């Protein structure tokens, strides 16, 4: 590189946007570029020891005058620009790399994104939303799926039955639960459990940041309890290594989301050679191609008032739990076919979304803008 690269984001948070920045960093490292990391987390998140080891040495106190890749969302972009400083922002070539989950991008956030030199979109779904809202160039830049493990953890670590066929889903209970739609996953599993009363199956629902007394959480817990030993929840924050191992020890990852900007949970499961079943809508359809995964039927419905920010007049998907249950049963009943699908999934993600593949895409883009 002839100019420095700085990644701006939240490298120590246990969130999807934090992984957004971490995986971009690792992608660049895979092609011989070592970026600086500018942490703009206002909450002083205590570093996960593994993350501190991997990313702490690369922290920088300020933007460089080269390429700055902002792994922050549109609603936070103005605050982050103010934090890094207008003069420093003006000195570099600035790339916004936001997430978004609906078909139309908010106009008020687009105004801030237009201050950047260009914008990267993690999926074609997000690219289409952004292109209709901003005046800057928008490039499709799929996120890398990085599954670096510091140690291997088995099912016993999580209290998951060793021999069961495990269905996994995770969501953030405080981040617009309606979009992730855990109730539909649980409904699909309830249908499956009724159809296979003697099958050794277990549904694991991992939630983050749940609050005691929350009505939706309480109702979900009650339904899980009604399934007895065939379902369990894991609450709170896990380390980066733990969450990736949790994906690794499942048999199938199921997401009946109403919309996804990218779909990291499904991509990580596929990278580990695990089949993924998900709503056939939004960002995940880029990589969930036929033969590598299974897509669930859906209907487009209006977003309910208050269910998601900036969603007036927008629609998203309502997946069919009945169809999802049928697809899970298909994998349960044919383990050989499930393993073969997992192998195809791993090969596909390795070819298209590995850190090496993503690193080559990013490097090519930097060369095209004359910064490499």
pLDDT (0 to 100) of residue 215: 77
Q: Determine, yes or no, domain membership for 17.
A: yes
Taking the model in full, what pTM does it have? 0.94
167-184: per-residue pLDDT in tens? 999 987 666 889 999 999
If asked whether residues 175 and 300 sit together in one domain, one would say yes
Q: Are residues 181 and 266 in the same domain?
A: yes
Residue of 235, 175, 244, 245 whose CA lies nearest to 206: 235
Q: How far apart are CA 117 and CA 126, in angstroms?
A: 18
Residue pair 58/40 in contact (Cβ under 8 Å)? The answer is no
Q: Tens digits of per-residue pLDDT, 270-306? A: 999 999 999 999 999 999 999 999 999 999 999 999 9
Burial letters 121-142, b for 16+ CB under 10 A, else e: bbbebbbbbbbebbebebbbbb
* pLDDT tens-digit readout, 12-48: 988 889 988 999 999 999 999 999 999 999 887 777 8
Residue-averaged pLDDT of the chain: 93
Does residue 219 share a domain with residue 126? Answer: no
Give the CATH number, domain containing residue 344.
3.40.50.2000
Rounded to whole angstroms, the Cα distance separating 250 from 204 reads 9
pLDDT in tens, 86-127: 999 999 999 999 999 999 999 999 999 999 999 999 999 999
Instruction: Give the range of the structural domain holding residue 224, as residue numbers without chain letter.
Output: 155-352
194 and 269 belong to one structural domain: yes
In this prediction, residue 1 carries a pLDDT of 46
């Amino acid at each position: 590189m002839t100019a420095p690269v700085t990644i701006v984001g939240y490298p120590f948070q246990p969130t999807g946007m934090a992984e957004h920045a971490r995986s971009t960093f690792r992608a660049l490292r895979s092609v011989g570029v070592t970026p600086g990391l500018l942490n703009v987390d206002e909450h002083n998140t205590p570093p996960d020891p593994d993350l501190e080891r991997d990313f702490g040495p690369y922290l920088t106190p300020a933007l460089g005058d080269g390429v700055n890749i902002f792994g922050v969302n549109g609603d936070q972009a103005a605050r982050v620009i103010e934090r890094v400083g207008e003069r420093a922002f003006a000195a570099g070539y600035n790339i916004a790399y936001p997430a978004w989950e609906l078909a139309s991008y908010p106009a008020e956030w687009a105004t801030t994104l237009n201050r950047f030199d260009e914008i990267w979109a993690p999926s074609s779904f997000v690219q289409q939303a952004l292109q209709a809202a901003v005046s800057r160039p928008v490039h499709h830049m799929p996120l890398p799926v990085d599954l670096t493990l510091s140690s291997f953890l088995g099912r016993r670590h999580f209290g998951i039955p060793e021999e069961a066929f495990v269905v996994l889903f995770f969501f953030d209970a405080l981040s617009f639960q309606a979009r992730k739609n855990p109730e539909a996953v649980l409904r699909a599993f309830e249908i499956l459990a009724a159809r296979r009363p003697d099958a050794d199956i277990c549904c694991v629902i991992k939630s983050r940041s749940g609050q005691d007394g929350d009505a939706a959480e309480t109702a979900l817990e009650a339904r899980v309890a009604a399934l007895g030993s065939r379902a369990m929840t894991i609450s709170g924050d896990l380390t980066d290594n733990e969450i990736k191992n949790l994906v690794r020890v499942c048999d199938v990852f199921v997401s009946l989301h109403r919309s996804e900007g990218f779909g990291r949970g499904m991509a990580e499961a596929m990278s580990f050679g695990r089949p993924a079943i998900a709503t056939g809508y939004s960002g995940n359809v880029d990589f969930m191609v036929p033969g590598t995964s299974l897509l669930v039927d859906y209907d487009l419905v209006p977003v309910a008032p208050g269910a998601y920010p900036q969603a007036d007049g927008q629609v998203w998907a309502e997946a069919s739990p009945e169809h999802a249950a049928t697809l899970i049963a298909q994998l349960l009943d044919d383990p050989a076919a499930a393993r073969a699908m997992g192998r195809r999934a791993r090969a596909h993600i390795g070819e298209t979304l590995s850190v090496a593949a993503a690193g080559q895409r990013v490097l090519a883009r930097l060369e095209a803008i004359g910064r490499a």
